[in-house]
Amino acid sequence: MQHFAKHLLAIGITAGLADRESFIKKVSGVIEEYQQDPEKAEKWAKLVVAYLEQIKDDIRMQQVMESSINNSNAPAKKDIEQLTDAIRELTIKMQEQKK
Q: Compute CA 39 distance to the chain's CA centroid, rounded to the nearest angstrom.
A: 31
Q: Enumerate residues 6+ apart whose C-beta is below 8 A from 64.
A: none
pLDDT of residue 80 exceeding 80, the answer is yes
- The residue length of the chain stands at 99
20-36 and 38-71 helices cross at what angle (nearest 10)? 130
Q: What is the pTM of this model?
A: 0.41
If you ran DSSP here, which 8-state letter would residue 72 be given? Answer: S
The residue ranges of every structural domain in the chain are: 2-98
Helix (H) or strand (E) holding 71, with range, is helix 38-71
For residue range 46-60, what is the model confidence (pLDDT) as tens digits?
777 788 788 888 888
Tens of pLDDT, residue by residue over 17-67, are 667 777 677 777 777 777 788 787 777 777 777 887 888 888 888 888 888
C-alpha to C-alpha distance for 15 and 26, rounded to whole angstroms: 12
